[in-house]
């Protein structure tokens, strides 16, 4: 665990040397540490501190989302010359979807650098899937502004594209779960939205998947489809564990 200081509000605050440590670990030298810090600054942190010069990462996330989609599209176009447009679109979606971005963020320990407000910290925001995915996209946006597209390509070449094939070949969890239900003559599946949180421009959906009246899994995402896929993934993992225990 990286060292943090506690600010006067009792919220963990990343010390300056740790930004350098993050850069060293990623083998990236940011010309503007302010951009790097902004990528990890949640709106709740900015709202609590109210410094005119303090910016949150929402605009960087917006930019990073577009940059990420561009570079991933380029990668697939060059490395999959025989794939039709529809298959390339599916593969890109598998790489840039929230669960995949969350995995990247956690692998890189980005969660330890996020600057959150006190309330968001207490509610577990540091580990929330949508927030982690947003931070990853914001980091891509910051890297693009700081060093350009080539550095983004180099970063993705190192940390994303080596796993792109396996991610792109992931099955549709909802379809897989439905196939299991049909094979086992089980009760019908239902997906229920249990919560909608966040502002309109960054809404997060929480969905439960029920087998009959039993909750089999819960997922969250920036769209209902992503949340349903995550819930189906959790349900499949639970069913696999049940099979092992028999």
Answer with the one of 168, 200, 217 that is the final residue of a domain.
168
- Give pLDDT, residue 96: 86
Q: Which of 65, 98, 120, 121 is catalytic?
A: 65
Say which CATH number the domain at 216 has. 3.30.160.20
The reply to whether 54 and 151 lie within a common domain is yes
Taking alpha carbons only, the member of 160, 137, 120 closest to residue 40 is 137
The reply to whether 109 and 200 lie within a common domain is no
Q: Please measure the distance between the N-terminal and C-terminal CA atoms of the chain and give it in whole angstroms.
A: 38
The reply to whether 140 and 234 lie within a common domain is no
Answer with the one of 118, 147, 168 that is the final residue of a domain.
168
| pLDDT in 10s for each residue of the chain, 246 residues | 233 333 444 444 555 678 888 999 899 999 999 999 999 999 998 888 888 788 999 999 999 999 999 999 999 999 999 988 877 887 887 788 777 888 889 889 999 999 998 888 888 888 888 899 999 999 999 999 999 999 999 999 999 899 777 665 655 788 878 888 887 777 899 999 999 988 877 788 999 999 999 999 998 888 888 889 889 888 887 887 776 666
The reply to whether 141 and 201 lie within a common domain is no
- Give pLDDT, residue 210: 96
The reply to whether 79 and 163 lie within a common domain is yes
- Give pLDDT, residue 113: 93
**pLDDT tens-digit readout, 46-95:** 888 888 788 999 999 999 999 999 999 999 999 999 988 877 887 887 78
With both helix axes pointing from N to C terminus, report the angle between 224-245 and 173-183 in degrees, rounded to the nearest 10: 40
The reply to whether 56 and 162 lie within a common domain is yes
One-letter-per-residue 3-state SS of the chain: CCCEEECCCCCEEECHHHHHHHHHHHCCCCCCHHHHHHHCECHHHHHHHCCCCCCCCHHHHHHHHHHHHHHHHHHHHHHCCCCCHHHHHHHHHHHHCHHHHHHHHHHCCHHHHCECCHHHHHCCHHHCHHHHHHHHHHHHHHHHHHHCHHHHHHHHHHHCHHHHHHHHCCCCHHHHHHHHHHHCCCCCEEEEEEEEECCHHHCEEEEEEEECCEEEEEEEECCHHHHHHHHHHHHHHHHHHHHHHC
Q: Enumerate the known binding-site residues for Mg(2+).
A: 61, 134, 137
Say which CATH number the domain at 126 has. 1.10.1520.10
Q: Which of 48, 137, 204, 226 is catalytic?
A: 137
Residue with tokens 């060292």: 3
Angle value at C-alpha 98, between 92 and 102, nearest 5 degrees: 115
- Give pLDDT, residue 169: 60
The reply to whether 26 and 84 lie within a common domain is yes
The reply to whether 197 and 233 lie within a common domain is yes
pTM score, whole prediction: 0.68
Parent domain of 198 = 173-245
The reply to whether 122 and 33 lie within a common domain is yes
| Contact between 230 and 219 (Cβ < 8 Å) | yes
Alpha-carbon distance 226 to 222, whole Å?
Answer: 7
- Give pLDDT, residue 185: 76
Number of domains in the chain: 2
Is residue 65 part of the annotated active site? The answer reads yes
């Amino acid at each position: 665990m990286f060292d943090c200081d506690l600010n006067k509000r009792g919220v963990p605050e990343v010390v300056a040397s740790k930004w350098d440590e993050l850069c060293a670990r990623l083998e990236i030298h940011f010309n503007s540490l302010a951009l790097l810090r902004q990528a990890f600054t949640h709106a709740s942190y900015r709202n609590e501190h109210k410094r005119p010069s303090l910016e949150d990462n929402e605009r960087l996330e917006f930019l990073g989302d577009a940059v990420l989609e561009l570079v991933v599209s380029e990668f697939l176009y060059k490395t999959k010359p025989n794939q039709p447009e529809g298959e390339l679109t599916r593969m890109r979606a598998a790489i840039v979807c929230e669960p995949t971005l969350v995995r990247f963020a956690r692998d890189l320990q980005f969660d330890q650098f996020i600057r959150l407000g006190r309330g968001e910290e207490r509610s577990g925001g540091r580990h929330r899937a949508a927030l982690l995915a947003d931070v990853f996209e914001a980091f891509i946006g910051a890297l693009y502004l700081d060093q350009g597209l080539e550095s983004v390509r180099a970063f993705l070449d190192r940390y994303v594209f080596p796993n792109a094939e396996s991610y792109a070949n992931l099955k549709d969890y909802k379809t897989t779960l439905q196939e299991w239900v049909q094979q086992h003559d089980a009760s019908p599946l239902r997906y229920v939205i249990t919560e909608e949180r966040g502002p309109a421009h960054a809404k997060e959906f929480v969905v439960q998947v029920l087998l009959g009246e039993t909750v089999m899994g819960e997922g969250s995402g920036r769209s209902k489809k992503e949340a349903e896929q995550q819930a189906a993934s959790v349900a499949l993992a639970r069913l696999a564990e049940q099979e092992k225990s028999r």
